[in-house]
Amino acid sequence: MFLRGAFRALALNRNLTPIAVRTFASKQREVPALTCDRYPVQRGSFAELTDDDVAVFRGILGGADTSRVLTAADEVQDYNIDYLRSVRGYGRVVLKPRSTTEVAELLRYCNERRLAVCPQGGNTGLVGGSVPVFDEVVLSLQLMDTIERIDEYSGIVVCQAGCVLATLEEQVGARGLVMPLDLGAKGSCHIGGNVSTNAGGLRLVRYGNLHGSVLGVEAVTAEGRVLDLMSNFKKDNTGYHLKHLFIGSEGTLGIITRLSMFCPTASRSVNVAFLGLHSYDDVKRTFLAAKRGLGEVLSSCEMIDAASLDSCTRFFGLQSPIDKYPFYMLIETSGSDAGHDEEKLARFLEQTMEQGLVQDGTVTNDSTKMKVNCISVNMITVFFFFDQFCVRIKSFLHLTLLRQPHSEHCILS
């Protein structure tokens, strides 16, 4: 009708593994070279770990229960290698505190002993920032995964930093809320790591960045001091807002141990459109038309160029749902009324096609029929069909294809 192929459901492609949980494939593949052999980095003058240190750690972390102080080489290895297996440290011990007090005690001791520490969340980062560069003590937040409170009235969740994003999403989802961020690694990344790295993700266009969503953090500084910057008040405008220093500072100012976050109301209806366009200028104008026409239901808007789509479809042996165009756009709406959302989307598509902005496209609102994943790294977005609706997995594929060199930052941090 008005849109060639609009509301034409896409054929399923069920040959791919569902959701990529970014946990380690470390045992199956070659061990990467040591970071310090591969890059010209110099170890700082920090102390070396002794058996006495390990004994102190065991004293702090449960004594007889040895599962919270790992020292066996094979157990420690996974924590020394990043997800992409491109860098490797040689840390000799992994500590797994359960509480802020334990984190504080550990850091106080390490600071006194001048032992370097590498805090680690889900170890899903793609820039090598989550593993030791040398023999740093790894402090993993894995066991700090308690969800303390979800308030359905205020939409606020209070939790420990080691909670897995997908678990939080599930828990707040059960109360009609949605986490304000979503990213490919959600199956294993920690909310504390998301906040520490100021993760953007797919919902940024709708819900803004974490500086707006995070209401408070509790953090422990390197010398073991606990900073209580927690707040459960969305409209709090008192005093200095020091919590923001911890959002995106990647553990350099301290380790986030707890946080409170505002969760918006979940949307009941989701539509996705995949469009073909002639030029970058048309992409820009279509983006503007989407912001105006779809307004409050626009929840995602991504651009994909022909080269990115080609490399991806070839790599996975997939088929584009529409003919070849120099540019593609993926537009997602989500709202509280499916009928209204569809009507807005149909009108938007009709208008943009009439104006010659959009050349072709396909749309669906049936989550069992269309499975779209988008992978975007460094401003390049590729996509493929996958067995989870609207779970877009950032970057690992593209990094595999293009092998970007690591930034100085990630190696030296």
Least distance to a copy of itself from the beta carbon of 241, Å? 5
The answer to the question of residue 152 lying near a copy of itself (CB under 8 A) is: yes
Least distance to a copy of itself from the beta carbon of 212, Å? 2
Beta strands in 23-174 (DSSP E): 69-70, 94-95, 117-120, 137-140, 147-151, 156-160
The answer to whether the CB of 286 falls within 8 A of the CB of 329 is yes
Beta strands in 84-167 (DSSP E): 94-95, 117-120, 137-140, 147-151, 156-160
User: Among residue numbers 297 through 316, which ones bind a copy of itself (CB under 8 A)?
Assistant: 297
Would you give the binding string for a copy of itself spanning residues 184-213, x where CB under 8 A is met? -------------xxxx---x---xx-xxx
Report how far residue 219's alpha carbon sits from residue 147's, in angstroms, rounded to the nearest whole number.
17
How far from each other are the two terminal CA atoms of the chain, in whole angstroms? Answer: 55
Binding region for a copy of itself (CB under 8 A) out of 98-106, 184-192, 218-226, 289-297: 289-297
Beta-bridge partner residues of 151 = 156
Binding region for a copy of itself (CB under 8 A) out of 68-76, 283-291, 307-315, 353-361: 283-291
Size of site (CB under 8 A) for a copy of itself = 49
Token pair of 240 as six digits: 């200095």
The answer to the question of residue 241 lying near a copy of itself (CB under 8 A) is: yes
| Percentages (nearest 5) of helix, strand, coil residues in the chain | 30, 20, 45
H or E stretch at 400: helix 396-402
CA atoms in the 13 A half-sphere facing the CB of 164: 16
The answer to the question of residue 261 lying near a copy of itself (CB under 8 A) is: no
User: Among residue numbers 325 through 384, which ones bind a copy of itself (CB under 8 A)?
Assistant: 334-337, 340, 343-344
The answer to the question of residue 287 lying near a copy of itself (CB under 8 A) is: yes
The answer to the question of residue 403 lying near a copy of itself (CB under 8 A) is: no
Q: Which is nearer to a copy of itself, 294 or 390 (CB)?
A: 294
User: Among residue numbers 212 through 231, which ones bind a copy of itself (CB under 8 A)?
Assistant: 212-213
The answer to the question of residue 248 lying near a copy of itself (CB under 8 A) is: yes
Q: Which is nearer to a copy of itself, 177 or 372 (CB)?
A: 177
Neighbours of 84 (CB within 10 A): 20
Contacting residue, 18, 173, 176, 356, with a copy of itself by CB under 8 A: 176
The answer to whether the CB of 96 falls within 8 A of the CB of 112 is no
The answer to the question of residue 59 lying near a copy of itself (CB under 8 A) is: no
The answer to whether the CB of 109 falls within 8 A of the CB of 12 is no
Contacting residue, 8, 108, 244, 278, with a copy of itself by CB under 8 A: 244
Q: Which is nearer to a copy of itself, 18 or 212 (CB)?
A: 212
Sequence-separated contacts (24+) of 143-146 with Cβ below 8 Å: 143/68, 143/96, 143/97, 143/98, 144/97, 144/98, 144/99, 144/103, 144/192, 144/257
Contacting residue, 28, 30, 42, 239, with a copy of itself by CB under 8 A: 239
Q: Which is nearer to a copy of itself, 148 or 296 (CB)?
A: 296
Neighbours of 300 (CB within 10 A): 20
Least distance to a copy of itself from the beta carbon of 189, Å? 14
The answer to the question of residue 288 lying near a copy of itself (CB under 8 A) is: yes
The answer to the question of residue 234 lying near a copy of itself (CB under 8 A) is: yes
Angle 363-358-365 from CA coordinates, rounded to 5°:
10
Please choose, from the candidates 89, 168, 98, the residue with its C-alpha nearest in 3D space to the C-alpha of residue 136: 89
Binding site for a copy of itself (CB under 8 A): 152-153, 155, 176, 197-200, 204, 208-209, 211-213, 234-235, 237-242, 244-245, 247-249, 253, 262, 265, 267-268, 284, 287-288, 291-297, 334-337, 340, 343-344
